Structure 1
């Protein structure tokens, strides 16, 4: 089985060139996708501007944030995914943080996603899963639930990461490993490496990137064997302090406002840049303040400076065009710094863009609307950064626009 790479191995890993990969040494390149998207834009000012930047020197930008690395094509939260994101110019990289049975912090999007993001169901650890594999039967899909809290860090290190997917028609655990969306790929999955949170810090530092860890909501009841939510939030910060990372380079995130306020009150240097994540929920209308759960003035008064709404909360259909929403503009007017998530997570946009674009589904036509949405977020809303599953697109835009 693949084992989690040690920090020493990170520096020596073939093809990664991490030993000397500091900010000035990490090469940045766009690849073909940004130009492909520019070519698809309709004629107009945006296309003219972005086309004029063809041939520009690619450079790292803090406006470009790697969402789980570059998971459009790489297994998320792996060394390889984040190296790819850094090479696309992402100036800030993300480790979604959860914990193991022995309360060690690791990078996973959810505490209970090991059954879709690793090979645990076909490993010797399958019997430790919260819910083992159940085969599909009739109209009932195949299912499983495997948590990082089901296993120790030592056991976590033995797992092999894969693209986040599951074949819910499967009748065997082996077949359940499939199901990768046809617009993603397994081309870059071979021999990928998982990371602890502490190892992600060392990797990102070696790549010259800054940090935006997200404290994930536990699937287990807290406190967990004496490990409280406050202990969890504090441990995340402590690992940056131990690594000598300045608080100004870290944007800790959480969907739990109590976590954000904990950082504001107990680790104020890190709390200054703590990010409160929010997402679209049933009944929300981006143009109707009566449907908004957040009181922007109250958040500011409590010391919250950063708000990160999902894309669908920040975009609206205005006379048949993608525009900034009243929600986003009101949050900005209240003095909150905005961060958007997540671009290029929806696959091809010809069918409307799904959940992330649900507020503008009627006007989304094709993949060039990724750039239209990005331009609205940057120019009309004034966001400070954009998460993307393929950071090259945001980097290209940021370089072209001088962001």
Structure 2
């Protein structure tokens, strides 16, 4: 593994600066028809399910033609196996039938918008520590020593746009016991892979993302990230940050009906609702309050208040939408309250949990983990989210899994 990391990222820095601007693939290699391919993972999960009507229904759809669906949202692209927020990850998500593709949006030192899950994740998602740009990181690489784990902190706001686009993507991960930068970069979780991370996976600006997704005829869900630096940043305010993303879509003449703006930051969400009325009906509030019991209670009680302020769509982590009663998975109090308030629900993130056979799936299945003990149970949870909770769409790190289900049930 380390030899792959070393060779690919060293080559990547040398070649990345010479990469041309992203040229979206507007054709299908001369073919008129674009075929969605779900691969073998959905079939693996279905075979792993317990016997029952849902398994039989999913099996009955095995040979149908699959189509793109807006129910399937690509979370950072096809990030289960491709370096997130790269052209390669987005292209794979398109092939897997995602009708909507996500770009997490943050900004560079020169206040240009780019696609990264966090403003300060370059040390785990790119090859920066193996390039001269490592010298510009907020916190340089520090090796593990005397029981203290290795660390680094490299932010998009440490770099100009041209410096950012010279980097190469890699699978998100780090090695806490590393004593060298290369070893630190070699931390891909065991349920993912580096198979598609060789060479120099191409990082994306917001402009390049819009151009690519538009050329593919798909839809957009850009998430404005909470800044990891004090705001205003060199005069750059929260309001300008939120406005810049709207202006980017306007500059490309994108119909607002194709765009789902989203943020965990309420001030961003309510800025758009007030100041970008064409986009307002599809603005999504990502809700992380559910991560604590106290926050979950506050969120559940406050749904009507959010609706009164003009919010129409809320999106918590998927675990918050279900619970177990009498051995069966049912909608949670949070889900019931959201529907009662007239809010639509989007859930995140399918295929991000790792193995359900290990502790029931962890964070994303925490309220149902006593009844999720094999990989096929993922589809049982999704079925409840669709048929009983009534979710509008599902984010997924491997869109094919959700695409298969959505096509089977006509979503």
Aligned match of 1:80 = 88
Where do 1:1-400 residues align within 5 Å?
A: 1=13, 2-3=15-16, 5-7=19-21, 9-11=22-24, 18-21=25-28, 25-190=33-198, 191-279=200-288, 280-284=290-294, 290-292=297-299, 295-351=302-358, 352-400=360-408
Aligned match of 1:15 = none
Verify the 8 A CA contact 1:21 1:208 in the aligned structure 2.
Answer: no
Q: 1 CA distance for matches of 2:294 and 2:376?
A: 27
Q: What is the Cα deviation at residue 265 of structure 1? A: 0.4
Q: 2 CA distance for matches of 1:24 and 1:335?
A: 41
Verify the 8 A CA contact 1:64 1:89 in the aligned structure 2.
Answer: yes
Describe the SS at the equivalent of 2:270.
helix
Q: Tell me the alpha carbon deviations over residues 20-40 of structure 1, each in whole angstroms, 9 at most, x when there is no partner.
A: 159974421110011111111
Shift of the 24–395 alpha-carbon distance from structure 1 to 2, 3 Å rule, reads farther
Q: 2 CA distance for matches of 1:188 and 1:265?
A: 42
Describe the SS at the equivalent of 1:141.
coil
Verify the 8 A CA contact 1:24 1:208 in the aligned structure 2.
Answer: no
Q: 1 CA distance for matches of 2:214 and 2:110?
A: 26
Unaligned runs of 5+ in 2: 1-12
Q: What is the Cα deviation at residue 283 of structure 1? A: 2.1
Verify the 8 A CA contact 1:26 1:207 in the aligned structure 2.
Answer: no
Q: 1 CA distance for matches of 2:317 and 2:129?
A: 32
Q: Tell me the alpha carbon deviations over residues 24-68 of structure 1, each in whole angstroms, 9 at most, x when there is no partner.
A: 744211100111111111111101111111101110000000000
Q: What is the Cα deviation at residue 321 of structure 1? A: 2.3
Shift of the 145–344 alpha-carbon distance from structure 1 to 2, 3 Å rule, reads same
Verify the 8 A CA contact 1:21 1:206 in the aligned structure 2.
Answer: no
Unaligned runs of 5+ in 1: 12-17
Verify the 8 A CA contact 1:143 1:168 in the aligned structure 2.
Answer: yes
Q: What is the Cα deviation at residue 319 of structure 1? A: 1.4
Task: Supply the RMSD in Å over aligned alpha carbons.
Answer: 1.6
Describe the SS at the equivalent of 2:323.
strand
Q: 2 CA distance for matches of 1:300 and 1:282?
A: 22
Describe the SS at the equivalent of 1:297.
helix
Q: Tell me the alpha carbon deviations over residues 297-335 of structure 1, each in whole angstroms, 9 at most, x when there is no partner.
A: 111111100100101111211212222212112101211
Q: What is the Cα deviation at residue 282 of structure 1? A: 2.1
Describe the SS at the equivalent of 2:282.
coil
Superposition TM-score, scaled by structure 2 size: 0.93
Q: What is the Cα deviation at residue 385 of structure 1? A: 0.2
Q: 2 CA distance for matches of 1:333 and 1:391?
A: 29
Superposition TM-score, scaled by structure 1 size: 0.94
Describe the SS at the equivalent of 1:350.
coil
Q: What is the Cα deviation at residue 206 of structure 1? A: 1.6
Q: 1 CA distance for matches of 2:84 and 2:294?
A: 29
Q: 1 CA distance for matches of 2:128 and 2:395?
A: 28
Verify the 8 A CA contact 2:300 2:333 in the aligned structure 1.
Answer: no
Moved more, 224-233 or 275-284: 275-284
Describe the SS at the equivalent of 1:220.
coil
Verify the 8 A CA contact 2:26 2:216 in the aligned structure 1.
Answer: no
Describe the SS at the equivalent of 1:212.
strand
